[in-house]
Amino acid sequence: MRSSTERGRLLGVRMLPLAAVAAALGACGGGGGGDAATAPKPPANTPTLTSIALSITASSISVGGTAQLTATPRDQNGNAMTAAVTYASSATGVATVSTGGLVSGVAAGTALITAASGSVSNSVSVSVTAATFPASAIVTTPGNAFAPFQVDIASGGTVQWQFGSVGHNVVFDGTAGAPAGIVITSNANVSRTFAVKGTFNYQCTVHAGMVGVVVVH
């Protein structure tokens, strides 16, 4: 049998590797306090398209009129961001919209104009009203010109030509529905009624280049 002294010596030899391992582990763990300083930072908050803000110069336009629609894409924080936007009209027979957001009135009614970018969209309602035109117009003859060059009137309306001291005539170009022309006249006013819708070009044959147009709506 081994003596108590021998048993103690053997036990000490067996425990020595365990003590060395524990010391090594302690040394590795001792530097843990510096990990926080070198840990990677979380990724920055990447802007994500969340909404599209719309503004329009006029929510009601007349037939033939226009309004500019502006779309501003915004991220989750409400900040403006860059994103491609497309436009569409729910009723192109009432109003159309260009790729740049210009809305044009086509006929009386209401259209929903939508701006979209990916799955995000927003819409605005646009009302189109029938254009109104006066029942009468006046054309003067300063120098050798008709002023204004073009007048617009409602169907059944009247145009009055006012002639000064220089004589002029009014000769229509033969468009169907045009009223009778006016012979050379000076120092007098002469009116004509337009019962048919259309565009009626005319000229003074006495003075070359003296032309005008009546548009009847």
**What is the predicted pLDDT for the residue at 199?**
98
**What is the predicted pLDDT for the residue at 154?**
96
**What is the predicted pLDDT for the residue at 45?**
80
Task: Report which of 131, 212, 132 is spatially closest to residue 172, judged by C-alpha positions.
Answer: 212
Order of strands, edge to edge, in the sheet holding 198-203? Answer: 150-153, 211-216, 198-203, 168-172, 182-185
Using DSSP's 3-state secondary structure scheme, residue 204 falls into: coil
**What is the predicted pLDDT for the residue at 69?**
99
pLDDT exceeds 50 at position 18: no
Confidence of residue 130 (pLDDT cuts 50, 70, 90): very high
Q: What digits encode the pLDDT tens for the residues 37-68? A: 566 665 668 999 999 999 999 999 999 999 99
Task: Report which of 197, 201, 140, 131 is spatially closest to residue 168, judged by C-alpha positions.
Answer: 140
Question: pTM for this one?
Answer: 0.57
**Assigned token pair, 162:** 């006012």
Q: What is the mean pLDDT of the chain?
A: 88
Task: Report which of 82, 85, 79 is spatially closest to residue 97, judged by C-alpha positions.
Answer: 85
Task: Report which of 109, 104, 157 is spatially closest to residue 130, judged by C-alpha positions.
Answer: 109
